[in-house]
Amino acid sequence: MPTTLADFLLQQQDALMEAWEAEVRAMPAAQALSRLALRDGLPRLLEVVATLMRERPRGRVVSGMGPIPDLHALERLGEGFNLRQVVTEYRLLRGCVLRLWTSRAQAAPSPEEERVFHEALDEAMATSVSRYTRARERTLQALDRISTAALGSEDVAGFLPRLLLVLRETVAAVDVAAVLLRDGDMLRVESVVGEGLEPGARVPVGEGFTGTIAASRQPLLVHEAGTDAHVAERTLREAGLRALYGVPLVLDSELLGVALMGSRASSELSEEDLLLFRAMAARATALLSQAQAHARERQARAEAEASLARLRESEAGLRRWEEVFTRLGVGVAVMSADDNVLLDVNPAFARMHGYTPEELKGRPLEDTFAPEARGALPRHVAAAHSKLSHEYESLHLRKDGSRFPAFSHETAFRDASGRVVQRVATVLDITQRRAVEVDRQRLLAAIEAERARLASVLDQMPAGVFIAEAPGGRLLMTNRQVEEITGQPFQASSPLEDYTRSSPEVLHPDGRPYAPEERPLMRSVLHGEVVRGEELLLPRADGQRLTVLVSSAPIRDRDGAIVAAVATMVDVTERRRAQEAALQAALFGERLIAIVSHDLRNPLNAIQLSATQLLHSEVLAERERRLVTRLARSADRMRRMISELLDFTRGRLGGGIPIQRVAGDVRAVVRQGVEELEAAWPERSLRVQVGPGRYEGQWDADRLLQVVSNLGGNALQYGPPELPVTFRLSDAGDAVVLEVHNGGEPIPPEMLPRLFDPFRRGTSAGHAGGAGAGLGLGLYIVEQVVKGHGGRIEAQSAAEAGTTFRVTLPRAPPD
């Protein structure tokens, strides 16, 4: 048996601790602790107390306890013991020691030993309480700051950096602090203060320092992070850290992440700092969890709101469709696929059939069809089923028995297996459309009739006719003559370009080919040009080249827009040939005129001049003088004949005898003519009667002299020598009238109408004999001269009145 309390404490340590443990376990805070954790530093404490008791009085109780009570207080603070429980532990230990000592030793300890024992326990208790209180105060302050820091931000990203800042400010030795959050099998650096870790860096759970803490869910402390085997993370190894401490962040057995703190200056971290760090980590865990829960809740709320919004939207959509269904002007019916019963109809469908929607629901679709149209219904149903959608027209039946044509579009709806479950039909009453269609047909028939009439009219036309539509020039219609002229069969309605391409040799009169758009019809179609009588050369199928005159004009609608163009084509090949021949004849005539007027007159003039000169000679005998006189008279006759022939030729070929009007007095012309006639007919009596009035005007005096001379010559020639020839002038306002009268035998009536024809001669040779006879062109030339002046000439002849030629001459040329 031990003799001293000190020996007893050392020898009965296990028994003491077991007895103590049995009593301490009654405290709730102690129940969760392992034996080792529960006993903590207390066995060592008992050894120290025993040593102090033996060393008495040399030993100093107050300073001899070492760090044990301090550490124990921090442990207990970390394990959640309250101050009373910490004190109760020491009280129970004291009670156990004393009770067992009394029961086993059977003797009281020495007073000195007992005093030291109590003093040591009191001192340990005081130290622990003090330490506990101080540490708890600091922890509480730090946690308070953490809570304050967390208050401002609900999200993890916001509050973690503040938490770490608080940590570094609270624990002086800490240079680096970081929080890593778990993301599946990885840990991701979420937030860092100080240098050594990169935000966003990832570490697998189970690897390295951080991964080990996460996998074991136990705190881990290393003293030289740069060399310690636990620290595999390169960044941590190279961060220049010595002490490195990490704790898992665990809430309700779920690992949220790992918190780290490290020191560059020190390889040690005080127990209090570690405790504080653990406390802060625990609090951070709660806040983290809370923040994550917040985030999840926010997300869930957002999702809920979104889905609610979708729901609302879809409800609105549904209402909208209902609205459409109800208000649609087109009839809509929903039918079951198997028995063709109307499941639902909209008001429009019911209305067009003369029912209310309720009356129709549940009835067979067939009821809405006219009996005579029901036979086709199965076919339409089958088509809608097989094609998914089917359109058809049929005759529907109203409630009152009347019928109406309808256009239906049916769509089949299928379930997931592809079976048709129902069909929807939209139905349109097409009564109006049918009526319009009938009208249209009638109109078309009318147009066709018009067209046929137009075609037959066109076929009767002597010209070829083309009608082409704008804007492309498609040929709408041609007539028979086109084919006859061109010798080419037509395909009506072929574009004009096709037609023109099929006859590419259409040419200008000078031989240049026509471009397709240059042709008259196309010019009218394209530009609205009106073409009048354009001449072009057209090859016939038989190789002949025709000359045609083409005219064309646009056809415009009420607004003036060109809708078509029409062209006519006349074959003028023959006409052109005749004109060409006439031109050649005219040219020949011109040459004849030149020959007659110039080449013949020169020798004639030479004969005349020479004969006259000879007559003036005094050496001629009487016989020779008669011969030369005959020569001169014949030359004179020849001169007159040439002159008449020239005038006739000019009149025939040159478009009439040329008239050159000069202002003058017709009385002077008449007097000159009469004087010349008197000289030629010295034995005859000529009278001039001039009525009152004006006789000025615009005329060709030389030509009028010819008129006076010819008419007077005729009158002298055909009138009896004993009767005078009378020239009578009278003013007729805008004209002057000249009458030449002779008595004697009248002109036979049958001759009167052809009096002015060329190459006519009187039946009697007249009194001048053959010597005065010309070519019978005199009256013809007179008429030509009068006509050239815009005047007229008439002849009257009767037995009693004699013969009168009456010439009416306008004073001025006609406008």
Partner 1 sequence: MEISVPGVGSVLVVEDDADLRAAVADILEDAGFEVHVAENGQDALHVFGELGHQGERPGLVLLDLMMPVMDGFAFMAHVRADPGLSQVPIVVFSASVREPPEGARAMLRKPFEIPLLLDTVAGFCAQG
Instruction: Return the structure tokens found at 253.
Output: 């057995």
DSSP annotation of 750 reads G
* Residue closer to partner 1, measured from CB, 617 or 763: 617
Q: Is 452 helix (H, G, I), strand (E, B) or coil?
A: helix
* Residue closer to partner 1, measured from CB, 608 or 808: 608
Separation CA 457–CA 435 (nearest Å): 33
* Residue closer to partner 1, measured from CB, 597 or 730: 597
Find the shortest distance in angstroms from Cβ 683 to partner 1. 23
- Scan for tokens 């207080």, then name that residue: 73
Find the shortest distance in angstroms from Cβ 603 to partner 1. 6
Find the shortest distance in angstroms from Cβ 665 to partner 1. 20
Find the shortest distance in angstroms from Cβ 775 to partner 1. 17
* Residue closer to partner 1, measured from CB, 124 or 659: 659
* Residue closer to partner 1, measured from CB, 297 or 702: 702
Contact in structure between 180 and 194 (CB atoms under 8 Å): no
> In Å, how far are 346, 400, 407, 423 from 355, measured between CA atoms?
11, 9, 19, 21
* Residue closer to partner 1, measured from CB, 585 or 606: 606
From the number of C-beta atoms within 10 Å of its C-beta (0-12, 13-18, 19+), residue 583 rates as exposed
Say which amino acid occupies 308.
L
Find the shortest distance in angstroms from Cβ 456 to partner 1. 58
Residues 6 or more apart in contact with residue 391 via CB below 8 angstroms: 407, 408, 409, 410
Find the shortest distance in angstroms from Cβ 627 to partner 1. 18
* Residue closer to partner 1, measured from CB, 615 or 688: 615
Say which amino acid occupies 242.
R
* Residue closer to partner 1, measured from CB, 456 or 660: 660
Backbone angles phi, psi at 405, to 5 degrees: -75, 140
Q: Please, what sign has the CA dihedral across residues 751, 756, 759, 763?
A: positive
Contacts 24+ apart (CB under 8 A), 635-642: 635/604, 635/607, 635/608, 635/611, 636/608, 637/771, 637/772, 637/774, 638/604, 639/601, 639/604, 639/608, 640/774, 641/774, 641/775, 642/596, 642/597, 642/600, 642/601, 642/604
DSSP annotation of 696 reads E
* Residue closer to partner 1, measured from CB, 83 or 607: 607
Say which amino acid occupies 509.
P
Task: Of 714, 709, 708, give the one whose Cα is nearest residue 761.
Answer: 714
Find the shortest distance in angstroms from Cβ 595 to partner 1. 11
Find the shortest distance in angstroms from Cβ 655 to partner 1. 17
Find the shortest distance in angstroms from Cβ 702 to partner 1. 7
Find the shortest distance in angstroms from Cβ 654 to partner 1. 13
Separation CA 776–CA 755 (nearest Å): 10
Find the shortest distance in angstroms from Cβ 482 to partner 1. 50
Backbone φ/ψ region at 41: left (φ over 0), alpha (ψ -120 to 50), beta: alpha
* Residue closer to partner 1, measured from CB, 307 or 617: 617
Strand partners, 413: 422
* Residue closer to partner 1, measured from CB, 170 or 608: 608
Task: Of 492, 483, 488, give the one whose Cα is nearest residue 459.
Answer: 483
* Residue closer to partner 1, measured from CB, 141 or 605: 605
* Residue closer to partner 1, measured from CB, 63 or 602: 602
Find the shortest distance in angstroms from Cβ 608 to partner 1. 5
DSSP annotation of 746 reads P
Q: Angle 622-653/573-594 helices, nearest 10 degrees?
A: 160
* Residue closer to partner 1, measured from CB, 144 or 599: 599
Separation CA 663–CA 668 (nearest Å): 12
Separation CA 299–CA 295 (nearest Å): 6
Find the shortest distance in angstroms from Cβ 613 to partner 1. 6
* Residue closer to partner 1, measured from CB, 431 or 660: 660
* Residue closer to partner 1, measured from CB, 616 or 754: 616
* Residue closer to partner 1, measured from CB, 480 or 601: 601
Find the shortest distance in angstroms from Cβ 601 to partner 1. 5
Contact in structure between 739 and 805 (CB atoms under 8 Å): yes
Contact in structure between 426 and 408 (CB atoms under 8 Å): yes
H or E segment to which residue 670 belongs: helix 666-680
Separation CA 110–CA 112 (nearest Å): 5
Note the helical H segments in 534-663: 573-594, 601-616, 622-653
Find the shortest distance in angstroms from Cβ 604 to partner 1. 5
Q: How far apart are the first and last CA of the chain?
A: 177
Per-position b or e across 213-244, b if 16+ CB within 10 A of its CB: bbeeeebbebeebeebebbebeebbebebbbb
Count the neighbouring beta carbons within 10 Å of the beta carbon of residue 591. Answer: 10
* Residue closer to partner 1, measured from CB, 784 or 808: 784
Find the shortest distance in angstroms from Cβ 789 to partner 1. 16
Find the shortest distance in angstroms from Cβ 659 to partner 1. 11
Contact positions vs partner 1 (CB under 8 A): 594, 597-598, 601-606, 608-610, 612-613, 616-618, 639, 660, 702
Find the shortest distance in angstroms from Cβ 707 to partner 1. 16
Please give, one letter per residue, the 3-state secondary structure of 500-555: HHHCCCCECCCCCECCHHHCHHHHHHHHCCCEEEEEEEEECCCCCEEEEEEEEEEE
